């Protein structure tokens, strides 16, 4: 028994020592991977053996609260800046800038003007003297704002090809050092989610099997190149997906003629500039449909962090979950699945899985803000974080080198101990009260008044 305790103590001491050694060895490379449109509950609905194997050796964050609007470009920029959309300036997939009078679309996105309100991590890490890489991550092929290595967006490049480049860049060669921060983007399961809708189990099952196969490929490629276990890996996504329906269409033309406004974006968050009489335009839109909320810019709720930017238009309309905004009566449902809705909806939330030498093993947390991933990555890389909306408070619990108190568990333990102590005290008093009183064990020594020292008699 004593031997067992001693062995246990020595093992424990070794574990602590290893942990401290890891902490003092300096940062290891970090690979950030995004599978676009990976809704958090796909993890429960579909078998994902490779992804489950990955996070069983690390950490799973079951739901990430992402940023509004829950679209691809704003959220990918938030992941690498830690900022809400109003602070980093990438507010939607379609934008209009009233100062420069320029228009932004996802296929016309390389003008640095749009991206310069924030600095992505691949640039901050470059400033710290590291090599970096970004593979088709939104905003990574912008003129003068690229990582050391990058490839311009091309949907024909397969996951395997993207991964092959990434591992080469992570490894480096005789001439060039390996990269310390690498960001890799893949289009699925977003594409299938739009096409078939997230409720289509057959189609989504097939898409997620392919995503999981790609995660398997990633793990085996990192193993083959000797990178597995030597680098930190984060697998996450930008947003979830809601099921849409032809029965849930909101037709703007039913409420007012399109000549009354200029449309910058349409669904599920419309951005409109009234052409004349803003109040009359707003009033008509405000009572247009019970499943659509209209806001003038200054009344957009604080919690959405979507007000303080010139690129936010005077009127925005937010459709309820699964509703689609269209123009005419004849307009058909454009997509069976969509995202962009309120970021408090669980269907809009993605997940986060983390593994590598810096992370705890077999650990789970139920939720985290997606803006907290940026300070976590800066901490992992020992890179000074730019001003951001995130915090390390919760994310640091994912790290092996941190001691974290589980507050609800601690409160539960304290309450439990107090209850047990109170019960024992009560029982003790109760039993003492009921016990019949016997003869007193000692009696006072009786002495005569004139006896000076009775004990010496």
Residue 81 to residues 85, 233, 266, 359, 408, Cα–Cα distance (Å): 10, 18, 26, 21, 31
220, 226, 229, 235: CA torsion to nearest 10:
-50
Contact 181, 376 (CB under 8 A): no
Nearer to Zn ion by Cβ, of 241 and 395: the residue is: 241
For residue 399 the two structure tokens come to 């790290």
Q: How far is the CB of 32 from Zn ion (least distance, A)?
A: 19
Say whether 432 sits in a helix, a strand or coil: helix
Nearest CA-CA partner of 54 in 219, 164, 194, 167: 219
Nearer to Zn ion by Cβ, of 130 and 265: the residue is: 265
How many Å apart are CA 261 and CA 96, to the nearest integer? Answer: 14
Nearer to Zn ion by Cβ, of 181 and 351: the residue is: 351
End-to-end Cα distance, the chain: 59
For residue 336 the two structure tokens come to 């069976």
Give the count of beta carbons closer than 10 Å to the beta carbon of residue 198: 26
In the bound state, the residue with its beta carbon closest to Zn ion is 190
Nearer to Zn ion by Cβ, of 189 and 375: the residue is: 189
Q: How far is the CB of 339 from Zn ion (least distance, A)?
A: 6
Nearer to Zn ion by Cβ, of 190 and 342: the residue is: 190
How many Å apart are CA 198 and CA 205, to the nearest integer? Answer: 10
Q: How far is the CB of 84 from Zn ion (least distance, A)?
A: 19
Q: Which of 70, 72, 236, 267 is catalytic?
A: 72
Contact 240, 341 (CB under 8 A): no
Per-residue burial over 95-119, b = 16 or more CB atoms within 10 Å of its CB, e = otherwise = bbbeeeeeebeeeebeeeebbebbb
Q: How far is the CB of 333 from Zn ion (least distance, A)?
A: 15
Q: How far is the CB of 33 from Zn ion (least distance, A)?
A: 17
Helices 72-81 + 373-381 axis angle, to 10 = 40
Contact 343, 87 (CB under 8 A): no
The sign of the torsion formed by the CA atoms of 137, 142, 148, 152 equals: positive
Count of residues binding Zn ion (CB under 5 A)? 1
DSSP symbol at 455: G
Contact 218, 33 (CB under 8 A): yes
Q: How far is the CB of 89 from Zn ion (least distance, A)?
A: 20
Say whether 414 sits in a helix, a strand or coil: helix
Annotated active-site residue 158? The verdict is: no
Say whether 210 sits in a helix, a strand or coil: helix
Residue numbers 172-201 binding Zn ion by CB under 5 A = 190
Q: How far is the CB of 37 from Zn ion (least distance, A)?
A: 5
How many Å apart are CA 261 and CA 278, to the nearest integer? Answer: 9
Q: How far is the CB of 64 from Zn ion (least distance, A)?
A: 16
Nearer to Zn ion by Cβ, of 82 and 268: the residue is: 268
Nearer to Zn ion by Cβ, of 54 and 348: the residue is: 348
Contacts (Cβ under 8 Å, ≥6 apart) of 141: 110, 150, 151, 152, 153
Nearer to Zn ion by Cβ, of 141 and 190: the residue is: 190
| Residue matched to tokens 């669980």 | 346
- Binding status of residue 265 toward Zn ion by CB under 5 A: no
Which residues are part of the catalytic machinery? 72
Which positions lie near Zn ion, rule CB under 5 A?
A: 190
């Amino acid at each position: 028994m004593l031997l067992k305790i001693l062995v246990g103590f020595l093992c424990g001491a070794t574990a602590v020592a290893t942990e401290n050694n890891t902490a003092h060895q300096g940062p290891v490379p970090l690979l950030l991977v995004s599978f676009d449109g990976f809704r958090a509950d796909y993890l429960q609905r579909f078998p994902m053996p490779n992804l489950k194997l990955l996070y069983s050796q690390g950490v799973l964050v079951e739901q990430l609260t992402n940023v509004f609007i829950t679209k691809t470009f704003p959220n990918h920029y938030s992941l690498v800046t830690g900022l809400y959309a109003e602070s980093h300036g990438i507010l939607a997939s379609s934008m209009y800038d009233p100062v420069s009078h320029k228009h932004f679309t996802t296929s016309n996105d390389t003008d640095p003007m749009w991206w310069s309100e924030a600095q992505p991590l691949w640039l901050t890490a470059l400033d710290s003297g590291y090599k970096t890489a970004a593979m088709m991550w939104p905003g990574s092929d912008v003129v003068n704002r690229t990582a050391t290595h990058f490839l311009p967006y091309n949907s024909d490049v397969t996951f395997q090809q993207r991964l092959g480049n990434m591992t080469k860049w992570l490894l480096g060669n005789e001439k060039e050092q390996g990269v310390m921060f690498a960001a890799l983007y893949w289009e699925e399961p977003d594409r299938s989610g739009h096409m078939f809708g997230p409720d289509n189990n057959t189609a989504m099952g097939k898409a997620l099997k392919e995503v999981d196969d790609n995660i398997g490929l990633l793990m085996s490629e990192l193993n083959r190149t000797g990178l597995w276990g030597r680098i930190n890996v984060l697998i996450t996504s930008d947003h979830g997906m809601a099921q849409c329906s032809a029965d849930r269409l909101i037709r703007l033309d039913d409420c007012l003629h399109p000549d009354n406004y200029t449309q910058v974006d349409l669904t599920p968050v419309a951005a409109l500039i009234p052409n004349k009489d803003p109040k009359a335009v707003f009033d008509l839109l405000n009572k247009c449909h019970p499943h659509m909320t209209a806001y003038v810019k200054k009344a957009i709720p604080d919690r959405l962090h979507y007000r303080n930017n010139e690129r936010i238009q005077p009127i925005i309309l937010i459709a309820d979950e699964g509703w689609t905004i269209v123009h005419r009566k004849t307009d058909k449902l454009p997509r069976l699945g969509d995202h962009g809705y309120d970021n408090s909806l669980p269907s809009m939330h993605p997940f986060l899985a983390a593994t590598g030498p810096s992370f705890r093993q077999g650990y789970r947390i139920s939720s985290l803000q997606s803006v907290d991933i940026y300070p976590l990555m800066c901490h992992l890389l020992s890179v000074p974080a730019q001003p951001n909306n995130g915090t390390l408070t919760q994310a640091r619990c994912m790290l092996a080198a941190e001691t974290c108190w589980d507050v609800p568990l601690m409160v539960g333990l304290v309450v439990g101990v107090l209850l047990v102590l109170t019960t024992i005290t009560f029982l003790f008093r109760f039993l003492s009260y009921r016990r019949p009183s016997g003869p007193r064990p000692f009696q006072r020594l009786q002495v005569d008044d004139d006896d000076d020292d009775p004990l010496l008699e």
